[in-house]
Structure 1
């Protein structure tokens, strides 16, 4: 696969294309200054990024949309050059809430359609104004989950032209099979967004997805922040790995660039999140070198099968995806 700055898209099973490198736009709304996402997305478009991964629950889609629209208005890009992925949050799983949730994203973005819309997690929460509903004891309030019914509502959104492609996130094999074998399936999931990096290479899930023409999108492709509220700090820092350091020295690249290159060479889409202008530029500089087969195998062998993002606070949910082997 000859990947270049201008052309690093791969086909999806529905005939659309997805760029292998995107920018994650999550930022803690409590600590990220207003306007940060807007400025960073504009910079990223100037650098060459065309794929942006966002979500209603990030509380900054209006900024991301504004940045995209400004770069269309100044002639840097056309709408069809941009690939935007939005996400259906857990409180919107009941079929009648699916389209309103997507319309909320479109209203925030001020765009006519999104390129990819995915079920963020296979776990439903109690619908309502709260995105993280809890009872008086502080326990999360769950909701019965019917992934097939939610999926059918998403299919109707695609048929209505509000979204080009449909996918999922954090689904295990069993949950994917539930959709793939659904009677009357109209549009199969084209992608599954999961944690994926050299310490968690997802060999079994990756193989299953390949067999079913599902592209794997890897979040936390550089490991993760060391935020103890949601990250397993027992996982060693990926970017200090000796092998990655040494391979980086050979190519005059950083461990981050080596880790990103590893995944894109395997056909795994990466969406490193950064609001640091230098890192945004840095993470894009992965198309001027290639890893050898031996280096790819050596990095694959780093797999420790440990997740950074375990979401243990929801591990008692009936559809918690990470109890299964994959």
Structure 2
């Protein structure tokens, strides 16, 4: 079972969580309960996903609320402002109905709008009021992170970004390390496109594991965290079963050679 990572606010982040992006409303409760039953202790949600009410109902019915880290995110469109972030947070708080949130993030910087620092100040206020324990960001680039820290003095606890063997984000990870920010990967399996990659299939065969297990272990050995998604209980369990998976230096070198810069999702500069 993957462990936890220390955050800069004194809390800890489960290294592997499961997410609910594009999980249909009618499947949300089932998937959430399957993930909790499999052993995940981080549930990655967002206002944009449209299934927070069902997520909250599943968490309450599980009886495991105290064991879980529940995350949500501020979408920021059409309005990106401190006031809108606080209002949207209140909506998520109400829809989830699980008490203080464990983690709240800015979903996209939308840098051209020039408002993300004020939004960040709103999240700092929410944290100071005790309404959320940990605050972070998603899809922030180096210049965005420098502005947050320079203008508020508060570094995000984590930055959730697209990352996988095609897009390892080494430069960003190095900046995160300097600023005390945890790198958390979304699309850690390249939206499933990596599962048939010949290089990864060979590494998986060498260790008698799945490609997904190889790639998730790669994320952990880089020192970061990841959020996976599956609507299949068996795959959720399998993705968490990494205790006997260890990549050697040759494996890490082979995977490093896969870097191409290819993205499977939206570039932050294209989400404004």
Match of 1:98 in 2: 85
1:162-181 aligned within 5 A: 162-181=131-150
Equivalent pair of 2:216/2:226 in contact (CA under 8 Å): yes
Match of 1:300 in 2: 256
Equivalent pair of 2:155/2:180 in contact (CA under 8 Å): no
Shift of 1:60: 0.4
Match of 1:41 in 2: 32
Higher strand share: 2
Please point out which of 22, 25, 42 is paired with 1:27. Answer: 22
Match of 1:268 in 2: 224
**Matched length:** 271
Match of 1:210 in 2: 177
1:1-326 aligned within 5 A: 5=1, 8-27=3-22, 32=24, 34-72=25-63, 77=64, 79-91=65-77, 92-123=79-110, 144-182=113-151, 184-185=152-153, 187-224=154-191, 237-310=193-266, 315=270, 320=272
Equivalent pair of 1:20/1:267 in contact (CA under 8 Å): no
Shift of 1:277: 2.0
Equivalent pair of 1:190/1:214 in contact (CA under 8 Å): yes
289-298 or 12-21, which moves further after superposition?
A: 289-298
Equivalent pair of 1:221/1:260 in contact (CA under 8 Å): yes
Q: Which runs of 4+ in 1 moved over 6 A?
A: none
CA RMSD across the alignment? 1.8
Q: Aligned partners of 2:161, 2:82: CA distance in 1, in Å?
A: 24
Q: Aligned partners of 2:267, 2:113: CA distance in 1, in Å?
A: 19
Higher helix share: 2
Q: Aligned partners of 2:35, 2:167: CA distance in 1, in Å?
A: 27
Unaligned runs of 5+ in 2: none
Shift of 1:243: 1.9
Unaligned runs of 5+ in 1: 125-142, 226-236, 321-326
Q: Aligned partners of 2:113, 2:198: CA distance in 1, in Å?
A: 46
Larger Rg: 1
Q: 3-state DSSP class of the match of 1:271?
A: strand
Shift of 1:165: 0.8
Q: Aligned partners of 1:203, 1:293: CA distance in 2, in Å?
A: 17
